[in-house]
Amino acid sequence: MYADRCTLEAAEILGKINDIQELKELFEIAQKDLLTAMDRGAIQGKDYRWISGVPGKTTGSSWGMLYAVFPCQIMKPDDELIAGTLKRIETNISKGGQPIHNGWMTDGSWVAATLDNVAEVKLVQGDGDAAVRYLYSSLNHGTPLLSWCEERGLEPGTTKTSGDRQHLWTPVAVVRLLRDMFVMESNDGLKLALGTAREWLASGEKVGISGACTHFGKVSYHMQYDSTGSKVTGEISFDESPSAAWANLYIRLTEGLKIKSVNRESKAKVLPDGSGLRWEKPCGTIKFDVTIRS
């Protein structure tokens, strides 16, 4: 079904007018059938419904269903079945911060799925703090050379494993999550620094990314917090010709600190909840000077 969606989008981009209607019908039928099947196959919990990896199976893997939110965009991030599936996964978390029994091992964790599915969906939902927690937990579950097995036991230095001993999915998931935490496309716009750890900016060090490739061209930004002056200053660069309809830059600080105002020259607007800045059709290089309130 995701392939149907991508084929339709490619036809629209390439102007294949004779094919668009047929591809659209195929996609819409497939999407409707899939959503109906997932709804009918959902399992009733105590106060929520959730989607299992196999119809009627109440144990083991259910992380794959989260692909329906990201990257497939078949279901909305706040769909009740997605909320229920996450609740089911997160009812059993290890001391090290990993969901337990989300694969074959009843007493183990599947680190790649923690990142590529649970953390990514949390990020799409706007919960950058949860994404950060899962990132650090997953890094802590790697070997000293930062490699991972497919599934592993929960205790430090465990010898309990399952699946591939060198699991390449996990390092790919680490890189993708890190990238999305700094730069993430959202339909016709960009969400920047949505998942940066609050402590990074609060430390007073520069936080940002340089030359990140996006669907809208390359993006660079950096920002730095001055606690004595209650200021965040920085610079953000887009392509000279605007292609993104909008861009949000999130100023993530500790202790509930929010944005009070931003310099007029930046042409940015403060987001209603004070969590970041927004530009409409951003282009070129922009300097910003933000005043912080507690």
* pLDDT recorded at residue 164: 84
Mode of pairing for the β-strands spanning 189-192 and 246-250 = parallel
Most confident of 26-30, 47-51, 246-250: 246-250
Q: Which band of pLDDT confidence, cut at 50, 70 and 90, is reported for residue 154?
A: confident
DSSP-derived 3-state class of residue 133: helix
What contacts 99, CB < 8 A, 6 or more positions away? Answer: 63, 89, 90, 92, 93, 109, 110, 113, 114, 118
Nearest-angstrom CA–CA distance, 188 and 83:
25
* 75-89, 143-157, 180-194, 218-232: least confidently modelled range: 143-157
Q: Which two tokens stand for residue 163?
A: 């699946």
pLDDT at 54 over 90: no
C-alpha dist (Å) from residue 140 to 17, 155, 156 = 50, 12, 10
Q: Which band of pLDDT confidence, cut at 50, 70 and 90, is reported for residue 231?
A: very high
For the segment 169-176, the average pLDDT, to the nearest whole number, is: 94
Residue type, 198: R
pLDDT at 119 over 90: yes
Alpha helices per DSSP H over the chain: 2-14, 17-41, 80-90, 111-113, 120-124, 128-140, 169-182, 198-202
pTM over 0.85: yes
Give ranges for CATH 2.60.220 in the chain.
187-293
* pLDDT recorded at residue 56: 82
Q: Which band of pLDDT confidence, cut at 50, 70 and 90, is reported for residue 61?
A: confident
What contacts 160, CB < 8 A, 6 or more positions away? Answer: 105, 107, 108, 152, 153
Burial of 193 (0-12, 13-18, 19+ CB in 10 A): buried
For the segment 20-46, the average pLDDT, to the nearest whole number, is: 93
DSSP state, residue 125: T
Nearest alpha carbon to residue 121 among 151, 78, 92, 88: 78
Q: Specify whether domain 187-293 bears CATH 2.30.30.
A: no
Q: Which band of pLDDT confidence, cut at 50, 70 and 90, is reported for residue 233?
A: very high
* pLDDT recorded at residue 60: 73
For the segment 243-266, the average pLDDT, to the nearest whole number, is: 96
Q: What percent of the chain has pLDDT over 90?
A: 80
Residue type, 250: Y
Q: Report the Cα–Cα distance between both ends of the chain, in Å, rounded.
A: 46
pLDDT at 144 over 80: no
Q: Which two tokens stand for residue 149?
A: 């097995």
Query: For 174-222, how does the pLDDT look when each residue is reduced to its tens digit (9 = 90+)?
Result: 999 999 999 999 999 999 999 999 999 999 999 999 999 999 999 999 9
Q: In what order do the strands lie in the sheet with 108-109?
A: 108-109, 151-153, 161-162
